[in-house]
Amino acid sequence: MATIKDIAQIVGVSCTTVSNVINGKSGRVSAETIAKINDTIKELGYVPNMSARSLVSNNSKVIGIINHLIVNKQENFMEDPFHSAFIGAIEATLRENGYYLMLRTVETSDDLQTFLRNWNVDGLFFTGIFKDSFYEELTKLSIPIVLIDSYVSHRNMCNVGLEDYKGGYLATKHLLEHGHRNIAFVSPMIKENGVLYQRLLGYKQALQEFHIPIRSEMILQAGMDVTSCLRTGAKIAARNDITALFATADIMAAGLIAGLRQAGKRVPEDISIIGFDDLSISRITDPPLTTIHQDANEKGRQAAYFMLDRLENRTLKQREIILPVHLVERNSVLTI
């Protein structure tokens, strides 16, 4: 395996000069020498040793993304296409800027500390953080932190969020405007001051504006895995008091449609349904899903831009970005 020393000997320069060119610090090196070094790197197939560079510079070029959204150990959060989309956008943006992304699920602050002791990461992304003991541990970290979909704030953290309240309101209002009065809210576990809680508040606001009483039996919490969605769909089909559903994720809405159909219910003829996210799956469900659009790719890019600004010590004009939502109407809602 070729080394910096091999390149230096062939070109006839010092190891320091080769290292400076590799790391983009070539201001005092002639164009001719830079060209020779780069040509020799290609000829020898030299690949930088990232671990060694990390030890020397104390910068690993590795950014961690920590999943702390654990519902149960049987669920794989990457099965949700939304997570795949925004994490893919983060990875692509970091890769374009010379950084690497590491994905890790942690349950406790002890797990996080173990991770940080074993990996020299330059920064961390976190999804779904709440104001609890885990969050308190985050406030003690000195590396850049970017939150995604969190309703907490701290002077050392940035956040990329969404108009969750508005999304819940628009979805419910759309169903109300189509004549529905018995509308169920179907969601994974709801935590106060989280994304799903905000969507629930939007749901309640729309009902109140139409003078519809808020009934606890219309607020349903279930897992997002296929088995849970099929089971929940069957339970809803067995009830006679629901004409429409607002599911807080497209992947859940798709599962509910399948569960309703298996139980003999038609969508939208018997039960209308609206989702949230506007992922590609919403265009291929049967029927195509009316949903609340959010740009998962833009969310990932904005999170990565925040991280790059922090890593490069650039002045931040803002520490929070709230991305917009809008309704996309397809064929899963019927006027009654």
Between CA 115 and CA 110 the distance in angstroms is 9
pLDDT of residue 76: 67
What lies within 8 Å, CB to CB, of 225 at 6+ separation is: 74, 75, 79
> 4-48: CATH homologous superfamily?
lambda repressor-like DNA-binding domains (1.10.260.40)
Which stretches in the chain have pLDDT values below 70?
23-26, 48-58, 69-78
Within this chain, domains 4-48 and 164-293 share the same CATH topology: no
Between CA 13 and CA 30 the distance in angstroms is 12
pLDDT one-digit tens code per residue, 194-212: 999 999 999 999 999 999 9
pLDDT of residue 55: 46
Residues 185/217, Cβ–Cβ less than 8 Å: no
pLDDT of residue 248: 97
The reply to whether CATH 3.40.50.2300 applies to domain 62-163+296-324 is yes
Pick the CATH number of 164-293 from 3.90.950.10, 3.40.50.2300, 3.40.50.12240, 3.60.20.10: 3.40.50.2300
In the three-class reduction of DSSP (H, G, I as helix; E, B as strand; rest coil), residue 273 is classed as strand
pLDDT of residue 148: 95
Strands 183-187 and 244-247: parallel
1, 80, 173 from 295: Cα distances, Å: 44, 15, 21
Between CA 169 and CA 201 the distance in angstroms is 8
Between CA 81 and CA 285 the distance in angstroms is 14
CA angle 280, 252, 323 (to 5 degrees): 60
Q: Where are the beta strands (DSSP E) in 49-169?
A: 62-67, 100-105, 123-127, 145-148, 157-162
- Each domain of the chain, given as residue ranges in start order, spans 4-48, 62-163+296-324, 164-293
pLDDT of residue 74: 54
